[in-house]
Amino acid sequence: QELMARGLPKRAPLPGVTDIVVVASGKGGVGKSTVAVNLAVSLANMGKRVGLLDADIFGPSIPLMMNIHEEPLVDEQNFMIPPVNYGVKCLSMGLLAKQNDAIIWRGPLVMSAVQRLLKGAVWAPIDILIVDTPPGTGDVHLSLAQNVPISGVLLVSTPQKAALEVTLRGAQMYRKLGVPIVGLAENMGHAICGNCQSRMEIFKNVTNIFTKQIDIKVLASIPLDGNITEGCDNGIPSVIKYADTAYAKSYRQLGETL
Ligand code: ADP
């Protein structure tokens, strides 16, 4: 509240990082990390220099999805060197917290961990840093907004009222802080039949009702597809293994809109 009233402090850009895009959702399990990973890998395949920061302290999934498990090395100045896979530089709370399983993530600790991941690592030179965040709009989100200039926020939601409502409410917080919302990636709202290729709606889709109310663009509609789950579980993003699919194209198009 206070921050919104005062406005954000002046934030210096991260040296050598052109854009920072935050991926956010109101609820967990809607596919935020899946979108972040497939988007990051698509951008790298399109020739961009990409970083992926997993700031989801409570449920880091980037190590699994990107098949990166080693603790990052540090250089002479004690800066972390993000390991690279699929052309994407990655850092995750999951790689750092390994020896500190028992840490209770209280506010100030969260803030300092996010700062270290952002500013204590050799990200440069990259064109875009994608930041996967925990669900909701808590300490991590505030810490990010306070510490670095965010180019835009990409929202991810399934097309259900329960998920959309909290996601779009969270988006208002960013708007109040003057951070632009790029748009919404709708996830798992439909499936494509493997036999006849027809489109099946999973839910009674209510996305447009909500996005219109607060003027947010729907940038992509990613289907529910077992191959996407398989890609996450096996650490081979589906946009690599199934590069010719319509959804791989959707991820690429999403990348082009950023
Ligand atoms: P969040 O980051 O929002 O908590 P995840 O990205 O971890 O969600 O996704 C939750 C689960 O749903 C994972 O098992 C993931 O593989 C699966 N999933 C996400 N998007 C899709 C999709 N489009 N099709 C099939 N499974 C998906």
| Ligand 1 binding pocket mutation candidate from 22, 34, 157 (most atoms within 8 A of CB) | 34
88 Cβ below 6 A of ligand 1: no
In this structure, are residues 252 and 242 in contact, taking their beta carbons and an 8 Å threshold? no
Residue 118 covered by a domain: yes
- Taking CA atoms only, the protein residue closest to ligand 1 atom 12 is 31
Looking at residue 48, what is its pLDDT?
98
> CB burial class (10 A; 0-12, 13-18, 19+) of residue 168?
buried
Residue 150 CB–ligand 1 contact under 6 Å: no
Question: How many other C-beta atoms are found inside a 10 Å radius of the C-beta of residue 13?
Answer: 12
Sequential pLDDT tens for the chain (258 residues): 676 777 777 888 999 999 999 999 999 999 999 999 999 999 999 999 999 999 988 789 999 999 999 999 999 999 999 999 999 999 998 888 665 555 566 777 788 888 999 999 999 999 999 999 999 988 899 999 999 999 999 999 999 999 999 999 999 999 999 999 999 999 999 999 989 999 999 998 899 999 998 899 999 999 999 999 999 999 999 999 999 999 999 999 999 999
65: left (phi over 0), alpha (psi -120 to 50) or beta: alpha
Query: Does residue 73 belong to any structural domain of this protein?
Result: yes
Q: Rounded to whole angstroms, how far apart are CA atoms 216 and 26?
A: 15
Is 3 contained in some domain?
Answer: no
Could you tell me the residue range of the domain that residue 192 belongs to? Answer: 16-257
Q: Is 160 in the pocket of ligand 1 (CB under 6 A)?
A: no
Cα–ligand 1 centroid distance for 196 (angstroms): 24
How many domains in the chain? 1
Residue 205 covered by a domain: yes
Residue 11 lies in a domain: no
Model ipTM?
A: 0.99
Atom number of ligand 1 nearest to Cα 34: 6
Give bridge partners of residue 21 from the DSSP assignment. 130, 152
Q: Which atom of ligand 1 is nearest to the CA of 27?
A: 3
Mean pLDDT estimate for the chain: 92
At residue 105, the pLDDT reads 66
Pairing of strands 126-132, 218-222: unpaired
CATH number at residue 115: 3.40.50.300
Distance between CA atoms of residues 38 and 220, nearest Å: 13
Backbone angles phi, psi at 176, to 5 degrees: -60, -30
Report yes or no on 160 lying in a domain: yes
Report the 3 state secondary structure along 26-95. Answer: CCCCCCHHHHHHHHHHHHHHCCCCEEEEECCCCCCCHHHHHCCCCCCEECCCCCEECCEECCEEEEEHHH
Quick check: CB of 221 below 6 Å from ligand 1?
A: no
Asked whether residue 10 is domain-assigned, the answer is: no
**Separation of 225 CA from ligand 1 center, angstroms?**
10
For residue 113, what pLDDT is reported?
87
Q: What is the Cα–Cα distance from 210 to 207, expressed in whole angstroms?
A: 5
Residue type, 218: V
In a domain, 5, yes or no: no
22 Cα: distance to centroid of ligand 1 (angstroms): 17
3-class SS of residue 12: coil
Give residue 232 CA to ligand 1 midpoint distance, Å.
8
CB of 232 within 6 A of ligand 1: the answer is yes
